[in-house]
Amino acid sequence: MNQGDIVITKYPFSSFKQFKVRPALIISNKEYNHGDNRILIGISTKNGSYAQNLNNEDLSEGNLLQESYIRYSHIMTMQTDLIFKKIATLKEKPLREVINKLVKTFQ
Q: Residue 33's pLDDT is what?
A: 92
Q: Is the pLDDT of residue 37 over 90?
A: yes
Q: Residue 95's pLDDT is what?
A: 96
Give the number of C-alpha atoms closer than 13 A to the C-alpha of residue 17, restricted to the C-beta side. 1
Strand segments (E) across 4-107: 5-12, 19-26, 37-44, 51-54, 59-62, 68-79, 83-90
Residue 13 DSSP code: P
Q: How far apart are CA 84 and CA 58, in angstroms?
A: 22
> What are phi and psi for residue 13, nearest 5 degrees?
-70, 165
Q: Residue 14's pLDDT is what?
A: 62
Q: Is the pLDDT of residue 32 over 80?
A: yes
For each of the domains in the chain, give its residue range(s) and CATH number, in order of start: 5-105 (2.30.30.110)
| Whole-prediction pTM | 0.90
